[in-house]
Amino acid sequence: MADTSFDIIIIGSGPGGYVSAIRAAQLGFKTAIVERDYLGGICLNWGCIPTKALLRSAEVFHLMQHAKDYGLSADNVGFDPKAVVARSRAVSKRLNDGIGFLMQKNKIQVIWGEASIEAQGRVAVKASKTEAPKGALGAGAYVAKHIVLATGARPRVLPGLEPDKKLVWTYFEAMAPDRMPKSLLVIGSGAIGVEFASFYRTLGTEVTVVEVLPQILPAEDAEIAAFARKSFEKQGIKILTNAKVTKLDKKSDSVTATIEEGGKSQTITVERVISAVGVTGNIENLGLEKLGLKTERGIIAVDQFNKTNVPGIYAIGDVSGPPMLAHKAEHEGVVCIEAIKGLNPHPMNKLMIPGCTYCWPQIASVGLTEQAASEKKLDIRVGRFPFVGNGKAIALGEDQGLVKVIFDKKTGQLLGAHMIGAEVTELIQGYVVAMNLETTEAELMHTVFPHPTLSEMMKEAVLDAYGRVLNM
């Protein structure tokens, strides 16, 4: 008879859930994790990781097309969409297996199936359609002192633009196309939208991006978003802002979309449509209504340590609200578990969560945008440094990009950093650490950055904010 009683049961094994489970096990809690589809959740299987694999294929393809720029020759450069997708799936599979190993290593019981909370401390699991991994428990009744909801999010559906998975895709279908569509309409220009736009455009698809707001990448600094738009348009991506897709007419192998832009209406016909209009929390069929658990606009309401209004029930990650990012979920999970343990962790500061978008060129940012700082009436200093002034960037053949930093004029506090260009997703963490340590411009200026690296631009941008830029 299997043991069905735990200290902590975590529902959902995405990056938030499985990291919470490991932290709980580290702290000596008897821990179980419930999953219905695939260990690692969306991130590993249908999100962050497989898209990075796709984008890498696109990047290598792009480099091979431009081999001549580097003095190399590569003729008959082509690609096999099936093989590109297969590689992406293989990457996911490998990490998915890795989660199974991590659960085993940390003695975390995997329970396979669909969970709902029957009452405080009681979890009912129904069998799921997918096959359970070896060693997992199945359907049944389980008890736990603490229940952590880490059920994540799913693509948001707008009325009239419902994905049919054939002609109108969500990220699931977009990630595993059977062939490259000749033309593509991407609805929404957030991170998911522009990453797919980049991927398909690089592989030769005619791409149109429609954004309802005046700015693409609405969460990013306006200057960076404008830089991105210019780059995308140069690559041949068509971008419509302040525009709305009002109707999708589906034919057998194409879709005609009606787009309203500034009072004018136009139609375009494309082979496929990607709906990337955001994600919404998975709060259904969990028994939350019965428990009286408070939700707000599709997400679960929590306090700074991710407690819900029902004692013993917690929510972390996408299902507990934005920013809906894997690294936010992971850290939130750790803080939540440590608070349960009574370790008095520091609540997460959401202003210091970096965001990364893996389009080409890459975008990375943390903290306040220049607009947000102005809206807060902060007195700021802004520093900028372009990639064209950096030796390493030129050597890489990546001389297009910008690093921008925003300081509080009075205190020298680093309020925000925004970057666009090659590898900026790997650079941003330098600023994130600086912000968390509460460094001012003085410490950043006093820090030696290695040469020749792209990171030198980070220091130059700081110097520029104080009128001391060296290489421009």
DSSP states along 143-157:
EEEEEEE---EEE--
451 has catalytic annotation: yes
Q: Is residue 447 part of the contact set for another protein (CB under 8 A)?
A: no
Tokens standing for 243? 């525009």
Residue among 59 and 443 whose Cβ is closer to another protein: 443
CB of 408 to another protein, least distance (A): 9
Could you give the 3-state DSSP secondary structure of residue 161?
Answer: coil
Stretch that binds another protein, among 79-87, 208-216, 372-380, 404-412 (CB under 8 A): 404-412
CB of 358 to another protein, least distance (A): 31
CB of 75 to another protein, least distance (A): 55
Nearest in space to 121 (alpha carbons), one of 103, 142, 106, 105: 142
Q: Is residue 443 part of the contact set for another protein (CB under 8 A)?
A: yes
Give the total of residues touching another protein (CB under 8 A).
11
| Single residue of 412, 418, 419, 464 touching another protein by CB under 8 A | 412
Cite the DSSP H helix spans in 281-378: 288-291, 326-341, 370-375
CB of 351 to another protein, least distance (A): 12
CB of 237 to another protein, least distance (A): 40
* Angle (deg, nearest 10), helices 48-65 and 81-105: 140
Q: In whole angstroms, give the CA distance from residue 288 to residue 119.
A: 9
Q: In whole angstroms, give the CA distance from residue 290 to residue 149.
A: 15
Residue among 134 and 346 whose Cβ is closer to another protein: 346
Selecting among 66, 331, 446, 451, the annotated active-site residue is 451
Q: In whole angstroms, give the CA distance from residue 468 to residue 19.
A: 43
Q: Is residue 442 part of the contact set for another protein (CB under 8 A)?
A: yes
Q: What is the CA radius of gyration of the chain?
A: 24
Nearest in space to 255 (alpha carbons), one of 183, 175, 171: 183
Mode of pairing for the β-strands spanning 272-275 and 109-112: unpaired
Stretch that binds another protein, among 134-142, 228-236, 312-320, 438-446 (CB under 8 A): 438-446
| Single residue of 265, 269, 411, 429 touching another protein by CB under 8 A | 411
Stretch that binds another protein, among 54-62, 97-105, 129-137, 409-417 (CB under 8 A): 409-417
Q: Respond yes or no on whether the N-terminal peptide bond of residue 361 is cis (omega within 30° of 0).
A: yes
Q: How far apart, in Å, are the Cα atoms of 150 and each of 13, 281, 304, 388? A: 7, 10, 16, 43
CB of 437 to another protein, least distance (A): 6
Partners of 168 in the β-ladder:
273
Q: Is residue 413 part of the contact set for another protein (CB under 8 A)?
A: yes
Residue among 1 and 437 whose Cβ is closer to another protein: 437
Stretch that binds another protein, among 188-196, 219-227, 314-322, 411-419 (CB under 8 A): 411-419
Tokens standing for 113? 């199936």
Residue among 182 and 410 whose Cβ is closer to another protein: 410
Nearest in space to 316 (alpha carbons), one of 295, 288, 346, 336: 336
Q: Is residue 410 part of the contact set for another protein (CB under 8 A)?
A: yes
Q: In whole angstroms, give the CA distance from residue 147 to residue 32.
A: 10
* Angle (deg, nearest 10), helices 15-26 and 81-105: 20
| Single residue of 13, 92, 151, 439 touching another protein by CB under 8 A | 439
| Single residue of 105, 438, 451, 471 touching another protein by CB under 8 A | 438
Q: Is residue 437 part of the contact set for another protein (CB under 8 A)?
A: yes
Residue among 249 and 438 whose Cβ is closer to another protein: 438
CB of 350 to another protein, least distance (A): 15
Q: Which residues bind another protein (CB under 8 A)?
A: 346, 410-413, 437-440, 442-443
Residues belonging to the active site = 451
